[in-house]
Amino acid sequence: MSPTALLTRPDCAPSKADDIGVALGSMDTPIGQLNMAATSQGLVRIGFGYMEEMQDMMSELDELPLTMGQGDLGWLDDPIAQLREYFEGGRQRFDLTVDWRLSHGFYRRVLDALMTVDYGTTVSYGELARMAGSSRAARAVGTAMSTNPIPLVVPCHRVVRSDGLVGEYGGHPDVKAWLIEHERSNRS
C-alpha cells in the first residue's frame, strides 16, 4: 500500500453528529494503481490511477461532511487485503461493508442488481436493466456503470455489450477484458 493520509476539512464548522472522516490510500495492482477511500460506514470509493489522480477523488468526496481527524486508516485494511486476494485469484466474492452515500435512486438499484452477477460471468447492459426492474433502460445502465463509485467490488466489468464485445471501461477496454479473463481463468 502506498502512503496514506486523512482527508479532512479544517475549515468545517464544529463537528455535527453526521460528520465523518475519510481515510485515503492506494495500492498497486496488475491493472495499475487503485486509489481508495473509506469511511466508518465502509468502502466509499475506488478510483483507477490511470483515470484520476487522488486529488480528483478528494474533490468528489468534498461533497461529504468531513471533519478534522476522524478518519481511521484501519478502515482500508480489509478492502486492500481482499483486493490483493482477488488479484491473486483466491477471492471470488468480496465481503466488505460498503458506504453507498455516492450512489442514489436508479443507479443504486442497478448497482444492487449488479452485485448478484456471479464471478467469472457476464451480463449485457439490457439484461442488467431487466434485473434492475427497468427493461428499457440499457443506456441508463451504461451511465450507472460509468459512475459506479466502487468498481471491482461492485463488478461493473462484468457488464458487456449485447453483441458480446467488452465495450468501454474507463476508456480502457483492455483492462475490462483482462478482468473478465482473470475471473474466467480463476473460477472454481
> Helix 105-114 crosses helix 138-146 at what angle (to 10 degrees)?
90
Alpha-carbon span 47 to 56, nearest angstrom: 9
Alpha-carbon span 185 to 19, nearest angstrom: 43
- CB-based contact 6:69 (threshold 8 Å): yes
Q: Where are the beta strands (DSSP E) in the chain?
A: 5-7, 22-29, 32-39, 42-48, 123-124, 159-160
Q: Which residue type sits at 110?
A: V
Cell digits of residue 160: 458487456
Q: What's the whole-model pTM score?
A: 0.85
List residues with catalytic annotation: 156
* Angle, CA of 167, 171 and 174, to the nearest 5°: 60
Q: Which of 91, 92, 110 is nearest to 100 (CA)?
A: 110
The DSSP call for residue 64 is S
Q: What is the pLDDT of residues 85-140, one digit of tens each?
A: 999 999 999 999 999 989 999 999 999 999 999 999 999 999 999 999 999 999 99
Stretch(es) of the chain classified as CATH 1.10.10.10? 105-186
105-186: CATH number: 1.10.10.10
pLDDT, average across residues 32-40: 91
Q: What is the pLDDT of residues 66-84, one digit of tens each?
A: 543 467 889 999 999 999 9
